[in-house]
Structures are given as structure tokens and as C-alpha cells.
């Protein structure tokens, strides 16, 4: 009786075989348990269970992680317009007074009188305009002063001297003592001191004679 009960509990003797292709039946996306980082999106499907059962869930990998795109929509032209205006304004600033005089070393800067001319702006100061203004007003002493400043500006631009606010005429003469035009500079310095600081009045004839000396020196420097 006891042996019959034990026999009934025993499982039937069956032969089992190993399916070598079992991995193929579990290779779909829904059997991925390894935690791979895949960004996916599922478009609208048919809603049929058979599609999902047959491994056709219409899942498409999203490639946005590997590429970048900007969709500005209908306002995209405003972005490009603003960018164009910003670049244009930057170029304007650099070509004029911005950037510490960048690209503007050869541009003339308007100054009102000789007191406005300093070591910081002499290279860009429009001294020729000041000379013309003094001549038109028959202020020949002032015109001679401007001519002397024009000489110093030209010597600075040619790297013969370094213009400084506290330098004297003797200092500039010492800077160019080895130059071929040093004697001409010494004489024009004498004329400038005598006419301006000596308050020597000039008529148009005397002015033209003194002016000729400055023009000759400028031509020698250039």
C-alpha cells in the first residue's frame, strides 16, 4: 500500500533536450533587462495586439542625443536680423572710437583748440583743420602754434619722437639730434618760441615766411 503511494507521486520518466536557439526567442526589445541607455519614442500604432505580439511595436530610436538642431519656426528671420545688426554695430564701434582706438589710429579726431591736444589724442587730432580755422580768422600767432604741434604729431607718427605732455622743445631736439632734419627742427622751434611765447605780432607776409619754414620741415620728415 505504501509503495503504491510513493510510486504515484513520482514524475513520469521523460527525455528532455536542450534548445540551442532559445536566445533567438528572447532577443526583442521587450526582453532587454540589462539596463542599456536607449532613448526611444513610440509613434502611434495600429492598436492591434497582434502587432505587439509579433514584435512589431514600431519603436524607433531617437537620435537627438547624437545631433543638435534648432527650430526657430516662423520667427527665425528675427534672430538672424538681430545677429546681423549686432555684428554691424560691433564693427562700427571698432572702426570708430571703441576698442581703445583699435583700427582708428589714422582717423582724424576733431579738437576745438590746442589745449585739447594731449599725448593720448595727438596722433588722431585734426590739426590741419585748426590751422585753417586760425588762418581764416587771421590769428597767425595761433596758426604758428598749430604748425608746431603738427610737426610734433608728424614726428610721432614717423616714430622719431614720443610726444609727452611734459616734454620740452629741447627734449624733442635731443631725440632727433642724429636726424638730417634736426637743424630745421631747431630753427622752427626757435620761431615758435619767439612768435608764441614772445607774443610777436605777425602780418600775413611774415606769417607766410614763417609758415614756409614749417612746411619745408614737414616735407623733410615725410
Specify if 32 maps to a domain: no
Specify if 16 maps to a domain: no
Cβ distance 195 to 202 under 8 Å? yes
Mention every residue, 6+ apart, whose C-beta is less than 8 A from residue 217.
151, 181, 184, 185, 188
| Domain residue limits at 153 | 114-221
CA distance 195 to 133: 18
Specify if 45 maps to a domain: no
What Å distances lie between residue 22 and 36, 52, 55, 83, CA to CA? 21, 20, 16, 60
Specify if 48 maps to a domain: no
Specify if 84 maps to a domain: no
CA distance 127 to 166: 20
- In sequence order, the β-bridge partners of residue 60 are 41
Rg for the chain (alpha carbons), in Å?
46
Specify if 13 maps to a domain: no
Q: How many CB atoms neighbour CB 49 within 10 A?
A: 8
For helices 182-192 and 204-221, give the axis angle rounded to 10 degrees.
150
pLDDT in tens, the chain (222 residues): 545 444 444 545 555 555 566 556 655 555 555 555 544 555 555 555 555 555 555 545 444 445 445 555 566 777 777 887 888 777 766 665 444 444 444 455 566 566 667 678 788 888 899 999 999 999 999 999 999 999 999 999 999 999 898 899 999 999 999 999 999 999 999 999 999 999 999 999 999 999 999 999 999 998
Specify if 38 maps to a domain: no
The total of structural domains in the chain comes to 1
- pLDDT for the residue numbered 56: 55
Specify if 90 maps to a domain: no
Amino acid at each position: 500500500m505504501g509503495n503504491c503511494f510513493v510510486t504515484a507521486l513520482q514524475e513520469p520518466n521523460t527525455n528532455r533536450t536542450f534548445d540551442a536557439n532559445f536566445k533567438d526567442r528572447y532577443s526583442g526589445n521587450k526582453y532587454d533587462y540589462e539596463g542599456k541607455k536607449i532613448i526611444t519614442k513610440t509613434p502611434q500604432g495600429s492598436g492591434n495586439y497582434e502587432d505587439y505580439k509579433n514584435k512589431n511595436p514600431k519603436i524607433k530610436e531617437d537620435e537627438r542625443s547624437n545631433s543638435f538642431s534648432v527650430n526657430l519656426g516662423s520667427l527665425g528671420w528675427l534672430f538672424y536680423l538681430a545677429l546681423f545688426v549686432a555684428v554691424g554695430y560691433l564693427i562700427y564701434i571698432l572702426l570708430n572710437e571703441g576698442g581703445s582706438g583699435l583700427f582708428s589710429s589714422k582717423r582724424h579726431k576733431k579738437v576745438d583748440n590746442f589745449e585739447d591736444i594731449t599725448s593720448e589724442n595727438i596722433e588722431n587730432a585734426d590739426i590741419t583743420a585748426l590751422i585753417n580755422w586760425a588762418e581764416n580768422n587771421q590769428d597767425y600767432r595761433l596758426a604758428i602754434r598749430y604748425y608746431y604741434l603738427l610737426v610734433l604729431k608728424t614726428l610721432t607718427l614717423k616714430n622719431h619722437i614720443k610726444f609727452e605732455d611734459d616734454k620740452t622743445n629741447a627734449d624733442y631736439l635731443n631725440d632727433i639730434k642724429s636726424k638730417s632734419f634736426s637743424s630745421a627742427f631747431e630753427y622752427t622751434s626757435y620761431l615758435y618760441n619767439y612768435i608764441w611765447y614772445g607774443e610777436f605780432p605777425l602780418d600775413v607776409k611774415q606769417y607766410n615766411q614763417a609758415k614756409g619754414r614749417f612746411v619745408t620741415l614737414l616735407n623733410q620728415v615725410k
